Each structure stands twice: as structure tokens, then as C-alpha cells.
Structure 1
């Protein structure tokens, strides 16, 4: 049976990113994406047993997604399937980050299964991405997250996206609710500023951590910081790398983070100062492996 104390359940979307082809901005290449799918693939490639619960469609894009995830070693037995098409995301990389435009309506991608009855079988459950705010998937994500908060380690990456297809007020409220349920929150400084406008991101992290959570804030090239209720914040510089691509770097970072949290075979306990430092350094190296080349496939650092 799928599951176990060292096994991660990833709930969310697997979609297709239409990314600009280098040297010809008028041409776009189809690339498997979706933050949860990227996290699942990253975890499996790093050696963490991983199940993905998303919606897979009946088109060629869905077959591409499935092949990518199976090749990485992700268990897809809990996915919902339909004949509907796959959702598309059109990233617009820029000097200040990547913006997105989405094609989401009437797709298989957000027909997610409610796994609230099975969440407790897993050591950790990840939720986040578009599926946390796009119906009908958002209801299944909330139900699964609430069950995971009671029975396993709930990990949330709010991964805020802004687009005309999303209701900003409703979306931000849903993501704040998930952060409140979580045992582990990973968020960028930009995510935090959007979720709690007017508040200092560092103070927001400290406030979330005071509730007993592990909170990790990423700042891109400026590194990352871990906050807990029992120790001072721990910061690590970003791993130096010649940046080729930034799409999927945050997802790779989270995969590295979770891989380290579960390295002992279960997801229990909060890391101490040295443990937090090692965890952030490892996650930074995993993220750098994505930034150093095209695509979103991370690789494990050479060190153990």
C-alpha cells in the first residue's frame, strides 16, 4: 500500500508551460510544469518516495506529463483521470522574475481527488500552487490539507500567482488559510508581501513560526532564512551559479528542503540551528542545479 512515515504525498496541478525558445521569442516550447508536479519530480529524483495526486487529462500533453513523472519515479496511482485537456501556463520571464498567464477553464488539471481519508498514511503532505485557489481543485486541496494538519506533516508553499483569471482577494485568503494550517511554510519574500501587504516579511515569518511552525523564506539570489519558535533565525547564502533559467528553482528548493527533513526515514521534529543551516544549504544547491541549465529537473548535490 502506498504511504509510510518517509513517504510524501504531493497534491496539486501538473500542467504545461509554454516557454520562450532562446534566440526566437516568437516560438514557444511545451515543457511539463506546475509547482506541485515539479516538487514531486524533484523529490523522487532526490530519492524521497513520492506520490502525486493531480488531475491528468486525455491529450498528448497529459501523456508527456505522465512520462516525465513516471521516469522520475513518482507514483501516480492516486491521480484522477478524465478525457478533458491539460491546462496551459504561459510564462513571461523578466529581469524581476517570471510572470504568468493561464489557460485553465474546462481542463482535467483541476479535477483533483479528495484524499482527506488517506492523508494520514503519509509522513508529509505538500499542497500549494494554482490548485489551492482554482476550482474545483481548491476544495479537494483544502479538505486534504485539513486532514494532513491533524495526522501528518503539512507542508505549504503559497506560490502566489497573479493573473486576470484569478480572483486576488479570494486566492490570497485561501493561501493564508493554508499557511495557518501548515507545520512547514516555504515562501518567497514576494509571496509574503502579497499575502500580508504592509507587513515586514521577516516579522510575518517570525509570527508564523511562533505558532510552532518551521518557516523558510527565500529571497532568490540573496539566499534563504529558516525561522522556528525555539531558536534564532538561520540564514544561508544562495549557491553561486551562472543563471540560465529560473523557472522551477523555487520548487527545486522545496524538494531539497523536504528531502533533508525526511532524511532519517520520517518527518518528525524541528531542526536545530546546525540542522537548519545544513537543510538550507542543501536546498540551495538543489535549486542552483535547476538555475544552471534549461528545464526544471533538479539533480542531487555531489555531497551527501
Structure 2
């Protein structure tokens, strides 16, 4: 296996660059009316976020692992075509992990094929100080050996420097250790300065509290917490505001929901980075600012929901 060095051999991150840490894999998505037919498309929440950032013109560096098969080459083409910098990626001589999507009326479930794959052989040394923000979450936060690398990098970011953004992206599958995974994701959320999570995520991680109660508790410690509820819109919690701020979901004819939450996260980061987040600082929020952020992110997520792919675009000017 070849490993990425601790710093990029090519161009260095400029102001406003975001480090995205985690997995890039292949989603096998049912297609047409044939239950046996599946479309292979690049996915993985962190890879989706990295692509979304680049599509939204935010400098994006992906620190994952790309293997040696055709799927890895497809993932690489997707990331590079979006403008994602791959100088920090590890390049193990292993195949790519697969996630078999199972869409249903309550969202998309997944069944994972993870063992002996390149996907979780993340680089172990990250110079986070060069970045304005660091994103962590997804399967890499709970699947070893990636989980240890994510935890170390998240702690380094939380200690000062970049803004640590966490999206737990809770997944339920027989291949995952629910108890250990839940512990790791709770610890990651507690480290983050920004936590974006769905109501299902929070109900799974803190089952003894309502999602609203969990968001208020996390925000009381100085975090920005963004709660997404699918077609029911989103809510932002900040200690700067007496009450949370909610916006409805942007109306759109639903074609696909895969990747919508990742596009939302990329949009939140894109909105935050130009507003002085260096040193882990958050802007001073007002209800109007929170409403503007949520409206922007909702529009970006709608651009994914309204099409067959997972590539977001900027919302049209109002």
C-alpha cells in the first residue's frame, strides 16, 4: 500500500480551503423497474461533500483513499472533474467498498460491502492548520482503520485552527457495530463547532432526548447546530439567538434523495467559510443570518433532489 504524505506534494491550500476527511465508495442504486438492475455511481457522504464544495466554488481537498480498480478510477474522475484536490489521498492497492442502496418511502437504507477494501485506509497524518474548515463524518468515522484517523484529525482541528464541521450520517447495517459506532459519533459531535444532523441521526445517537432537546443542549455550548428534517425543512440553533430559526424545504419535484443531505452540508460550509471562521470562530448570528444560511442550503439541496444525480448547483437568484 502507498500512503499519502502528511502534506500535499502539489499546490498548497489557499485561504478558505476545506479539508474533507472520509470515504469515497460506490453506491449501487436500483434502476428502472427491474429489481436486479443497479446503477453504479460514485458516493460516500464525505466524497459527496467534497464534490459539492468544489461545485459551489469552495476550494475542496479530499483526504480519503482511492483503490486500484475501475470503480476507484470512476470516483477519481468525478472528484477531479468537480475541481477537488486529491493530493492528500492515500492510494492502497485494494478494491473499492460498495454500498447497495435500498430506497423506500422513509428514505434510503444501505447494505455495505466493506471488508478488505481500500476505502478506509485513510492517511494518518493531516496538517489541519492550513485549512479554514475540516469536515468529518460518515462511515469513516466508525469503520477502522479510518475511524482512528478521523478521531485524531478531529481532535487536532478542535484544539484550535480550522472550524470543525461534523455530520454524523448514522447508518444501520449488519456490518457496523452500532454500540461502538454510536459512541464514536457522539464524541465527534461533541468535538465539532458546527453539527449538521438529521432528526433520525439525533434520535439514534441520543434516544433519551428529542432531537430539539439535543440540538438545544449542543448549541448551548457555543456550537452552531443545524437540524434537517427532509421535506419538513431545517432548523438552526445558536446560543446567539433566543430561539431556533426554521425555514421550509425549497419546493421541488422529487426525483432522487440520495446525496441531498450532503449537498446541504456543503452549502452550509460554503456559506460559513467567507464569514471569518478562521481559528475555529463562528460569526455572530442573528435570526436573519441563520435564515439566509438555511435558505441557501435548502436551495442547493433542492438542486440534487430535483435530478437523477448527486451533483449540486447554486440556487437561482430570487
1:163-203 alpha-carbon deviations (Å, 9 max, x no partner): 00000000000000000000000000000000001211101
Which residue is equivalent to 2:239? 229
Q: Hey, what's the Cα distance between the residues in 1 that align with 2:282 and 2:122?
A: 30
1:243 matched residue in structure 2 = 254
CA deviation profile, 1:125-146 (whole Å, cap 9, x unmatched): 0000000000010000000000
Distance 2:45 2:216 in 1: 25
| Displacement after TM superposition at 1:265 (Å) | 6.6
Distance (whole Å) between structure 2 residues aligned to residue 211 and residue 266 of structure 1 = 17
Match of 1:147 in 2: 156
Q: Which residue of 167, 182, 191 corresponds with 1:181?
A: 191
* Residue segments in structure 1 that go unaligned for 5+ positions in a row: none
- Flag structure 2 segments of 5+ consecutive residues without an equivalent: 1-10
Q: Note if contact 1:52-1:76 (Cα within 8 Å) is conserved in structure 2.
A: yes
Task: Provide the C-alpha distance between the structure 2 equivalents of 1:171 and 1:137, rounded to a whole number of angstroms.
Answer: 12
Q: Does 1:277 align with 2:291?
A: yes
Quote the residue 1:63 is aligned against. 73
C-alpha deviation, 1:303, in angstroms: 2.0
Structure 1 position 262, deviation (Å): 1.4
The aligned residue for residue 292 of structure 1 is 306
RMSD, aligned CA: 1.2
How far apart, CA to CA, are the structure 2 residues paired with 1:201 and 1:167?
22
Checking the alignment, whether the CA contact within 8 Å between 1:54 and 1:80 is kept in structure 2 is yes
Which of the two has greater strand per residue? 1
Counterpart Cα distance in 2 of 1:153 and 1:265: 10
Q: 2 CA distance for matches of 1:281 and 1:35?
A: 21
Q: Deviations over 1:59-82 (max 9, x none)?
A: 000000000000000000000001
The counterpart of 1:257, out of the listed 262, 268, 292, is 268
Q: Does 1:131 align with 2:137?
A: no
8 Å Cα contact 2:162-2:277 kept in structure 1: no
Q: Spell out, residue by residue over 1:66-122, the C-alpha distance to the aligned partner (whole angstroms, 9 max, x if none).
A: 000000000000000011000000010000111100000010000001234x01110
* TM-score normalised according to structure 1 size: 0.97
Show the counterpart of 2:317.
303
- Kindly tell me the number of residue pairs found equivalent between the two proteins: 303
For residues 299 and 24 of structure 1, the distance between their equivalents in structure 2, rounded to whole angstroms, comes to: 30
- Alpha-carbon contact 2:215-2:227 (below 8 Å) kept: yes
After TM superposition, the structure 1 stretch with the greater mean CA deviation from structure 2, 265-274 or 286-295, is: 265-274
Query: 2 CA distance for matches of 1:112 and 1:54?
Result: 5
1:269 Cα deviation from its structure 2 partner: 2.5
Report the CA distance between 1:5 and its aligned residue.
Answer: 3.8
Q: CA deviation at 1:266?
A: 4.9
The TM-score, its normalising length taken from structure 2, stands at: 0.93
Residue pair 2:276, 2:282 contacting (<8 A) in 1 also: no
How far apart are the structure 2 equivalents of 1:123 and 1:36?
17
